[in-house]
Structure 1
Amino acid sequence: MKTHASASSVIHAPRRLAMRAAVAAGLLLSFGCMAQSPAPIKIGVLNDQSGIAASLSGQGSVVAARMAVEDFGGSVAGRKVEVVYADHQYKPDVGSAIVRRWFDTEGVTAVVDVPSSAVALAVQEVTRQANRVALFTSPAASQLTGKACSPNGIQWAQDTYGMANGAPPELLKTGNDSWYFITIDYAYGTATEKDARDVIEAHHGKVVGSVKHAANAGDFSSQLLQAQASKAKVIALATAGDDMSNLVKQAAEFGISGHGQTIAPLTTAMFNAVHGLGLKSASGLVFTESFYWDRNDKSRQFSKRFLARHGTMPSAIQGDTYSAVTHYLKALATGVNPMDGIAVVKAMRDIPGDDFGSPAKVRVDGRVERDLYMFKVKTPEQSKYAWDYYTLQKTLPAASVTRAPTTECSLVKAL
């Protein structure tokens, strides 16, 4: 017996075919869009979101990184660029775990900022193993370009050598030849004091004593009394963040500067501390920084936009984060694979850097060579407008504040 299609099935067949064709076309379009929309490039800001360095890095570094991305157009080599962030809690294991997760499962190609030398040293190794990129704009440990150097790491931050060879030699030239250290009891403080001691002794100065303090100590009266009793001409503060602010504030309350002793902070960023203390307490402080919002037209233009978004002028760490991320994006724009960290860092070495109008060069050991600046905090009477805190004492040429490449670094040794 023959079977015959019903009239209704014959009538609806063209419609079903049309629907199937539409679905197929939709799937092809969907797959085409996917092919045309590659995964975004992600930059991870790893820092202190709530602790002693939150005002120096924290959300401000996230803002700076996002501004760099936006100013670059929001994409590079046809891929959208995103910025993510996390808090390492000053724990190397926490920081390493975050970065490893970012690299392994979340598509992050570079990590930036990383206050805490101990965390940075751990992150350096994770980044090397994953062949991604680390842009260190906070940690000052010179080991990052020495024994612990990596073909995947760049230290944009002023390091302990730069701090030691910045303001201290200038102070020594003016007869400040006896020094006492108040030093935070972790890797950053130890390295800073060591490098500064070497410089002081090389310039025929003398270190008459030192004392440690714990992180987040709060009360520094014991350390300050010992420093005051030492009669040293300079009291060097090898600490950072809120501890630095509290030390300077309490030193002012003790009237130390008024008794002829100079307070010399040795740190990567003092601006937020000066802002919090006020010029009455901070005036007269002398130190070295890599960035100041009011240094030139380029720094002012960036800083005023940052202020509108974040509510404060940028710290040196936040300014350096903007510069480092911008330079990273320039390297990616050459077409290098962002998943090949060694190739990206090589491209960053090959491209001239721009540090808000001043040259910056990435060396084979990961050290960024650039000028630093010696500032003195103004008195309230000298300040003429909002955020007008510093007087530039001297531009310190890169050659004088950058350690020569050392064979402690395997990359240098291989040359």
Structure 2
Amino acid sequence: MNFKLFSVALATTALIAVAPAAAEGVKIGILNDQSGVYADYGGKGSVEAAKMAVEDFGGEVLGQKIEIVSADHQNKPDTAVTIARKWFDVDGVDMITELTTSSVALAVQDLAKEKKKIDIVVGAATSRITGDACQPYGFHWAFDTRALAVGTGGALVKAGGDTWFFLTADYAFGYSLEKDTSEIVQANGGKVLGSVRHPLNSSDFSSFLLQAQASKAKVVGLANAGLDTANAIKQAAEFGIVAGGQKMAGLLMTLAEVHGLGLKAAQGLVLTEAYYWDRDDKSREFAERYFKRTQRMPSMIQAGTYSATLSYLKAVKAAGSKDTEAVANKLKELPVDDAFAKGNVQANGRFVHDMYLFEVKKPDESKKPWDYYKQLAVVPGNQAFPAAKDSGCPLTK
């Protein structure tokens, strides 16, 4: 054998031997907080929701088996990027979703752009994901800080809550939620009297709540989430903030936090969500199947993860390939209509769908387990989310 040809053959064989396992099957990674402040918010429940999507799709696509892998990023961007890099480079993961915690989502989205892989953010809120930080293969699914601001902030100002003070989580998500809500409050004629930042996973909100109380603002806006929101609401009750005439606004609250607080503590809170299990026949059917597996009703993060996973698989099938470019194009082309929501995906990767303004029921208004919300209003998708050309995403200019 010609020595040069033999050497080329050996080199080719070696390359094949060390190539990532990307060619085998379709692999989806669920990367989120499974042990910390956001564990109930999405956590292992989101993994279960993704598995439901795979089962509902049929377990395979393009003749290849679909596999779900998952990991706990512990709300640390560096940990998340290390996991995501290994998934992309070594384990052959094709798409990463959920990505609770905005700092994590932004970091993984940058990596996904570098690796030319798809990421679909569900659990993180910052509107930057499809704004100035957008990328060609990045998507944002369930909600964002602007949609929450339009829903809760806009409604409370119109109802007379025209002065605000914010308790803000001290990282990207909190800043974005405070900024977006402040803009909506001011656009509706309200004023922001001040704000204070608190560390993620705080156990003691006393000094922050005292500042909010001293501000005499009509609304105390909680620009935080998960256990931070629940703890702030519990401690606010101890300080008599609501009893003293101020209103607490949970700017990002889900069913999980309301369930953890109980109706006695959470009653009267106004909040905005993309999904509620008891809203219609479609949402109920999915929720009842989810409950049988988890003994809990799904939050909008968990239902959103189901939708994101199912939509990705439909896009792979429609593209006839796992090729990132082709699948990303199909995600932006195909309409979405599932148990979570109905709508379309914009050029910046933003899934546009209706949002819902809810009020938490009083204990005597609840007629069955998990019967927590009464719907106040529908926020149409084109009001909740900006058009792609107005989002600040460089891809749309």
TM (norm. structure 1) is 0.88
Distance 1:401 1:383 in 2: 28
Deviations 1:257-310 (A, max 9, x none): 22221111111x421111011100000000101111111111111111111111
Deviation at 1:88, TM superposition (A): 1.2
Deviation at 1:214, TM superposition (A): 1.0
Q: Which residue of 2 aligns with 1:333?
A: 317
Contact 1:336 1:347 in 2 (8 A): no
Distance 1:342 1:294 in 2: 37
Tell me, yes or no, if structure 1 residue 378 matches structure 2 residue 361.
yes
**Residue identity opposite 2:200 in structure 1:** A
**Residue identity opposite 1:344 in structure 2:** V
Deviations 1:32-73 (A, max 9, x none): xxxxxx722110000001010011111000000000000111
| TM superposition outliers: structure 1 runs of 4+ over 6 Å | none
Distance 2:184 2:79 in 1: 35
Q: Which residue of 2 aligns with 1:216?
A: 201
Distance 2:57 2:242 in 1: 45
Tell me, yes or no, if structure 1 residue 152 matches structure 2 residue 158.
no
Contact 1:46 1:88 in 2 (8 A): yes
**Residue identity opposite 2:221 in structure 1:** A
Distance 1:341 1:292 in 2: 32
- Superposed, 1:161-180 pairs within 5 Å as 161-180=146-165
Contact 1:378 1:390 in 2 (8 A): yes
Go from structure 1 to structure 2 and tell me whether the alpha carbon gap of 1:149 and 1:281 turns closer, same or farther (over 3 Å shift): same
**Residue identity opposite 1:359 in structure 2:** K
Q: Which residue of 2 aligns with 1:344?
A: 327
Q: Which residue of 2 aligns with 1:299?
A: 283
Distance 1:355 1:263 in 2: 33
Q: Alignment partner for residue 359 of structure 1, among 339, 342, 354?
A: 342
Count of aligned positions? 374
Q: Secondary structure at the match of 1:259?
A: coil
Q: Which residue of 1 aligns with 2:293?
A: 309
Go from structure 1 to structure 2 and tell me whether the alpha carbon gap of 1:357 and 1:194 turns closer, same or farther (over 3 Å shift): closer
Q: Secondary structure at the match of 2:29?
A: strand
Q: Which residue of 1 aligns with 2:110?
A: 125
Q: Alignment partner for residue 40 of structure 2, among 31, 41, 55?
A: 55
Q: Which residue of 2 aligns with 1:391?
A: 374
Distance 1:66 1:358 in 2: 18
Identity of aligned residues (%): 49
Q: Which residue of 1 aligns with 2:16?
A: none
Deviation at 1:148, TM superposition (A): 1.1
Deviation at 1:170, TM superposition (A): 1.3
Q: Which residue of 1 aligns with 2:352?
A: 369
Deviations 1:328-386 (A, max 9, x none): 11111114321x22211110111110142742211110111100000000000000000
Q: Secondary structure at the match of 2:227?
A: helix
Distance 2:341 2:260 in 1: 29
Q: Alignment partner for residue 262 of structure 2, among 243, 257, 278?
A: 278
Distance 2:371 2:105 in 1: 32
Deviations 1:106-154 (A, max 9, x none): 1111001001111111111111122221010011111111111111111
Distance 1:215 1:411 in 2: 32
Contact 2:62 2:321 in 1 (8 A): no
Q: Secondary structure at the match of 1:191?
A: helix
Q: Secondary structure at the match of 1:108?
A: coil
Structure 2 unaligned blocks of 5 or more: 1-22
Q: Secondary structure at the match of 1:165?
A: helix
Q: Alignment partner for residue 233 of structure 1, among 199, 205, 218?
A: 218
**Residue identity opposite 2:275 in structure 1:** F
| Larger displacement relative to structure 2 (122-131 or 279-288) | 122-131
TM (norm. structure 2) is 0.92
Q: Which residue of 2 aligns with 1:75?
A: 60
Distance 1:384 1:362 in 2: 37
Distance 1:245 1:355 in 2: 30
Distance 2:231 2:275 in 1: 22
Q: Alignment partner for residue 84 of structure 2, among 94, 99, 102?
A: 99
Q: Which residue of 2 aligns with 1:319?
A: 303
Structure 1 unaligned blocks of 5 or more: 1-37
- RMSD between superposed Cα atoms in Å: 1.3
Q: Secondary structure at the match of 2:395?
A: helix
Distance 2:216 2:95 in 1: 47
Deviations 1:152-189 (A, max 9, x none): 11100311111111111111112111111111111110
Contact 2:361 2:374 in 1 (8 A): yes
Distance 2:242 2:232 in 1: 13
Distance 1:150 1:115 in 2: 18
Q: Alignment partner for residue 191 of structure 1, among 176, 199, 218?
A: 176
